[in-house]
Amino acid sequence: MRLLPKGVQERARPHIARAETFVRDFEWTWTKAVLAALVLWFLAFTFLAILPSWWLYFAGAKLGWTQQKPWLFRLRDLVASGIYGTALLVFIVVPYFVQKWRRRLRSESESRPTGGYR
């Protein structure tokens, strides 16, 4: 938070405290897990399938970025790869950092003991 101006920090403080309380105290139930899986599936389908496909159609049909314009054709594919790659990265990285944040708020250790004889 050192990168933000003091005014923004003061305005964000209650929202951050509320988010930290939610992350620390949240417990999964079957209903919450099923609803979360449904929402995540919908978001993943939208950002990993529909949005890149729409962009390829839009760039080819509406903007005219076809193989006759090789640099624009490559840019079209680069943008589609960026949309797909960014969404995939977000779906992998965000849960990791939320879990790490939750462990820090709950004062749990980073190690995950597996039990058994050693």
Q: What does the pLDDT look like over 66-108, one tens digit per residue?
A: 999 999 999 999 999 999 999 999 999 999 999 998 988 888 7
Whether the model clears a pTM of 0.75, i.e. scores above it, the answer is no
In a domain, 101, yes or no: yes
- Rounded to whole angstroms, the Cα distance separating 61 from 66 reads 8
Encode pLDDT of 2-13 as tens digits. Answer: 788 888 989 999
* In a domain? residue 13: no
DSSP character at residue 59: I
Q: What is the 3-state secondary structure (H, E, C) of 35-55?
A: HHHHHHHHHHHHHHHHHHHHH
Q: Number of structural domains, the chain? A: 1
pLDDT at 1 over 60: no
Find where tokens 């992350």 sit: 23
Domain limits for position 57: 29-105
Q: Which carries the bigger pLDDT value, residue 47 or residue 2?
A: 47
Residues 6+ apart with CB under 8 A from 115: none
Cα separation, 26 vs 109, in Å, equals 18
Whether 11 maps to a domain, the answer reads no
- Number of residues assigned to the chain: 118
8 assigned to some structural domain: no
- What is the DSSP-derived secondary structure letter of residue 113? -
Read off the DSSP letter of residue 90. H
Q: Which pLDDT does position 4 carry in this prediction? A: 82
Q: Does any domain span residue 57?
A: yes
58-68 pLDDT, tens digit each? 999 999 999 99
Assigned domain for 62 exists: yes
Q: Is residue 113 part of a domain?
A: no
